[in-house]
Structure 1
Amino acid sequence: MTIGDISVSYRCMEDVLLVYLAVLNLVTFALYGADKRRAKKGQWRIPEKTLLILPLLGGSVGGILGMAVFHHKTRHWYFRWGLPAILLLQAAGAVYLLAR
């Protein structure tokens, strides 16, 4: 394998990661909106565990935006403080990996 092949491989991995994060954040945002709509209608709700796991998997921006746009889960301390904490940890991890 040549150096050129390795750089192409890393670029491909970066692209896959960006697509993964974009899709996950869109899904997380949409689920926060869907859960808020269901709450207003008294319908079956999305479990809080799901709404917390998605930000842990990389959807923290979508979760924070979903909380702000839909005014959803803003009274729960573990959402209000947990999602920004998750985002900060993910950002710190990204900076660490990029600085290596």
Structure 2
Amino acid sequence: MLTATLCALLLVNLWTILRFREDKRRAVAGARRIPEADLLALALIGGTPGAFFARHRFRHKTRKQPFSTWLWLIAAIQAGALIGFGWPR
């Protein structure tokens, strides 16, 4: 069970990184962008580490508001949930 969960989280984070990279490429090219709600949804389902990594790696959406606030809020809620459930044990 734990292995399946970790694999799922790994895949979600990898997908999140790829979507941030694609959005950055689209932004540079002046093409249609990936909606911020979609990027935040990926963070919400477990892609928060990937989102923070991608923001730093691609220098993308680092100063964008309220996107940054929402991403930090998602991260804080997830951290609180992990602590509340006693992880790691």
TM tier, shorter chain?
A: 0.7 to 0.9
Aligned to 1:56: 44
Q: Does structure 1 conserve the Cα–Cα contact (< 8 Å) formed by 2:20 and 2:60?
A: yes
Alignment-mate amino acid for residue 48 of structure 1: E
Is the contact made by 2:20 and 2:39 (CA closer than 8 Å) also made in structure 1? yes
Which range moved further: 88-97 or 31-40? Answer: 88-97
Identify, as 1 or 2, the structure richer in helix.
Answer: 1
* Distance (Å, rounded) in 2 between the aligned partners of 1:22 and 1:84: 20
Aligned ranges 1:55-94 → 2 under 5 Å: 55-94=43-82
Superposition deviation, residue 75 in structure 1? 2.4
TM (normalized to structure 1)? 0.77
Instruction: Please state if 1:95 is matched with 2:77.
Output: no
CA-to-aligned-CA distance 1:11-39 (integer Å, 9 cap, x gap) = xx211111111110111011101100111
Distance 2:17 2:67 in 1: 14
Give secondary structure in 1 for the equivalent of 2:33.
coil
Distance 1:81 1:51 in 2: 13
TM-score, normalised to structure 2, is: 0.85
Please report how far the alpha carbon of residue 46 of structure 1 lies from its aligned counterpart in structure 2 after TM superposition. 1.0
Preserved contact between residue 64 and residue 84 of structure 1 (Cα < 8 Å): no
Higher relative contact order (CA 8 A, sep 6+): 2
Compute the RMSD of aligned alpha carbons.
1.7
Q: Structure 1: which 5+ runs fail to align?
A: 1-12
**If you compute each CA radius of gyration, which structure gives the higher value, 1 or 2?**
1
CA distance in 1, matches of 2:39, 2:66: 11
Q: Which runs of 4+ in 1 moved over 4 A?
A: none
